[in-house]
Amino acid sequence: MTASLTSTATGLLWFLDTLVSVRVAHDDGADGISVLECHASFGHSPPLHVHHSEDEVFEVLDGELRVRLGDDEIHLVAGDVRLAPKGLPHTFRVESDEGARWRVTTTQGDFERFVRTVSRPATSAELPPPAGAPTPDQAVELAAAALAHEIELLGPPLS
Protein backbone atom coordinates (compact mmCIF):
# COMPACT_ATOMS: atom_id res chain seq x y z
CA MET A 1 0.00 0.00 0.00
CA THR A 2 1.32 3.42 -0.90
CA ALA A 3 0.47 6.30 1.38
CA SER A 4 -1.53 8.87 -0.56
CA LEU A 5 -1.29 11.49 2.12
CA THR A 6 -0.05 14.75 0.71
CA SER A 7 1.00 17.90 2.45
CA THR A 8 -1.82 20.35 3.11
CA ALA A 9 -1.80 23.89 4.40
CA THR A 10 -1.72 22.37 7.87
CA GLY A 11 1.03 19.89 6.99
CA LEU A 12 1.64 16.31 7.96
CA LEU A 13 1.96 15.15 11.55
CA TRP A 14 3.50 12.18 13.27
CA PHE A 15 0.94 11.30 15.94
CA LEU A 16 2.53 8.55 18.03
CA ASP A 17 3.02 5.74 15.44
CA THR A 18 0.56 7.23 12.93
CA LEU A 19 0.96 9.58 9.97
CA VAL A 20 -1.84 12.16 10.07
CA SER A 21 -2.92 14.78 7.57
CA VAL A 22 -5.45 17.37 8.71
CA ARG A 23 -7.69 17.50 5.64
CA VAL A 24 -10.21 19.92 7.15
CA ALA A 25 -9.21 21.86 10.26
CA HIS A 26 -11.78 22.56 12.96
CA ASP A 27 -11.18 26.31 12.63
CA ASP A 28 -11.67 26.36 8.84
CA GLY A 29 -15.48 26.34 8.80
CA ALA A 30 -18.40 27.69 10.78
CA ASP A 31 -19.63 24.24 11.87
CA GLY A 32 -16.30 23.16 13.37
CA ILE A 33 -15.94 19.95 11.37
CA SER A 34 -12.53 18.32 11.55
CA VAL A 35 -11.37 15.64 9.09
CA LEU A 36 -8.09 13.84 9.72
CA GLU A 37 -6.64 11.21 7.41
CA CYS A 38 -4.55 8.59 9.21
CA HIS A 39 -2.12 5.88 8.12
CA ALA A 40 -0.65 3.23 10.42
CA SER A 41 1.07 -0.12 10.14
CA PHE A 42 -0.16 -3.61 11.02
CA GLY A 43 -0.86 -4.03 14.74
CA HIS A 44 -1.24 -0.33 15.57
CA SER A 45 -3.83 0.15 18.32
CA PRO A 46 -4.47 3.12 20.60
CA PRO A 47 -5.49 2.60 24.23
CA LEU A 48 -9.15 1.98 24.96
CA HIS A 49 -10.57 5.47 25.40
CA VAL A 50 -13.73 7.56 25.44
CA HIS A 51 -14.44 10.98 23.95
CA HIS A 52 -16.57 13.02 26.34
CA SER A 53 -17.31 15.95 24.01
CA GLU A 54 -17.66 14.64 20.47
CA ASP A 55 -18.71 11.76 18.28
CA GLU A 56 -16.00 10.18 16.11
CA VAL A 57 -16.69 8.81 12.63
CA PHE A 58 -14.26 6.28 11.11
CA GLU A 59 -14.13 5.76 7.34
CA VAL A 60 -11.71 3.06 6.17
CA LEU A 61 -9.93 4.01 2.95
CA ASP A 62 -7.46 1.10 2.61
CA GLY A 63 -6.84 -2.03 4.65
CA GLU A 64 -8.78 -3.43 7.58
CA LEU A 65 -9.51 -2.27 11.12
CA ARG A 66 -10.86 -4.33 14.01
CA VAL A 67 -12.91 -1.88 16.06
CA ARG A 68 -14.13 -2.30 19.62
CA LEU A 69 -17.21 -0.19 20.37
CA GLY A 70 -18.32 -0.74 23.94
CA ASP A 71 -18.64 -4.52 24.28
CA ASP A 72 -18.88 -5.16 20.53
CA GLU A 73 -16.06 -5.89 18.08
CA ILE A 74 -16.49 -5.40 14.35
CA HIS A 75 -14.20 -5.62 11.32
CA LEU A 76 -14.15 -2.70 8.92
CA VAL A 77 -12.69 -2.80 5.42
CA ALA A 78 -12.20 -0.17 2.73
CA GLY A 79 -15.48 1.65 2.16
CA ASP A 80 -16.91 0.93 5.61
CA VAL A 81 -17.96 3.80 7.88
CA ARG A 82 -18.73 3.51 11.59
CA LEU A 83 -19.76 5.96 14.30
CA ALA A 84 -18.14 5.86 17.74
CA PRO A 85 -20.64 7.97 19.72
CA LYS A 86 -19.32 10.27 22.40
CA GLY A 87 -19.39 8.55 25.77
CA LEU A 88 -18.87 5.05 24.30
CA PRO A 89 -15.47 3.47 25.07
CA HIS A 90 -13.71 2.37 21.92
CA THR A 91 -10.42 1.48 20.27
CA PHE A 92 -9.26 -0.21 17.09
CA ARG A 93 -6.40 -2.29 15.71
CA VAL A 94 -4.94 -2.30 12.20
CA GLU A 95 -5.41 -5.90 11.01
CA SER A 96 -4.11 -5.76 7.44
CA ASP A 97 -0.49 -6.73 6.79
CA GLU A 98 0.06 -3.72 4.55
CA GLY A 99 -1.30 -1.31 7.16
CA ALA A 100 -4.42 0.80 6.86
CA ARG A 101 -5.59 4.29 6.00
CA TRP A 102 -8.74 5.83 7.41
CA ARG A 103 -10.43 9.17 7.96
CA VAL A 104 -11.66 10.42 11.32
CA THR A 105 -14.35 13.10 11.39
CA THR A 106 -15.30 15.02 14.54
CA THR A 107 -17.08 18.29 15.26
CA GLN A 108 -15.90 19.92 18.49
CA GLY A 109 -12.19 20.16 17.72
CA ASP A 110 -11.05 18.34 20.85
CA PHE A 111 -9.63 15.31 19.04
CA GLU A 112 -7.87 17.46 16.45
CA ARG A 113 -6.36 19.66 19.19
CA PHE A 114 -5.22 16.55 21.08
CA VAL A 115 -3.55 15.19 17.95
CA ARG A 116 -1.81 18.50 17.35
CA THR A 117 -0.72 18.71 21.00
CA VAL A 118 1.03 15.33 21.12
CA SER A 119 2.25 15.23 17.50
CA ARG A 120 5.39 16.49 15.85
CA PRO A 121 5.69 17.75 12.27
CA ALA A 122 6.36 14.84 9.91
CA THR A 123 9.65 15.17 8.07
CA SER A 124 8.31 13.01 5.22
CA ALA A 125 5.03 11.50 4.00
CA GLU A 126 6.07 8.17 5.54
CA LEU A 127 5.11 6.50 8.77
CA PRO A 128 7.13 7.72 11.75
CA PRO A 129 9.87 5.54 13.20
CA PRO A 130 8.18 3.11 15.65
CA ALA A 131 8.15 4.62 19.12
CA GLY A 132 7.33 1.43 21.00
CA ALA A 133 5.34 1.30 24.20
CA PRO A 134 5.40 4.50 26.24
CA THR A 135 7.40 4.68 29.43
CA PRO A 136 5.34 5.12 32.62
CA ASP A 137 6.09 8.87 32.59
CA GLN A 138 5.12 9.15 28.91
CA ALA A 139 1.86 7.25 29.61
CA VAL A 140 0.99 9.72 32.38
CA GLU A 141 1.76 12.67 30.09
CA LEU A 142 -0.33 11.18 27.26
CA ALA A 143 -3.28 10.56 29.59
CA ALA A 144 -3.09 14.12 30.92
CA ALA A 145 -2.94 15.58 27.39
CA ALA A 146 -5.92 13.44 26.36
CA LEU A 147 -7.96 14.47 29.41
CA ALA A 148 -7.23 18.13 28.72
CA HIS A 149 -9.04 17.55 25.40
CA GLU A 150 -12.05 15.66 26.86
CA ILE A 151 -10.61 12.22 26.00
CA GLU A 152 -10.17 9.71 28.79
CA LEU A 153 -7.79 6.77 28.42
CA LEU A 154 -9.44 3.72 30.00
CA GLY A 155 -7.39 0.65 29.23
CA PRO A 156 -4.90 -1.12 27.03
CA PRO A 157 -4.89 -1.29 23.25
CA LEU A 158 -6.25 -4.31 21.40
CA SER A 159 -3.81 -7.19 21.02
Give the pLDDT confidence of 63-112 residue by residue, as tens digits.
Answer: 999 999 999 999 999 999 999 999 999 999 999 999 999 999 999 999 99
Measured distance CA(159)–CA(9) in Å, rounded: 35
Round to the nearest angstrom and report the end-to-end CA distance of the chain. Answer: 23
Q: Which fold has domain 12-155?
A: Jelly Rolls (2.60.120)
- 61 burial (CB, 10 Å; 0-12 / 13-18 / 19+) is middle
* Global confidence as pTM: 0.91
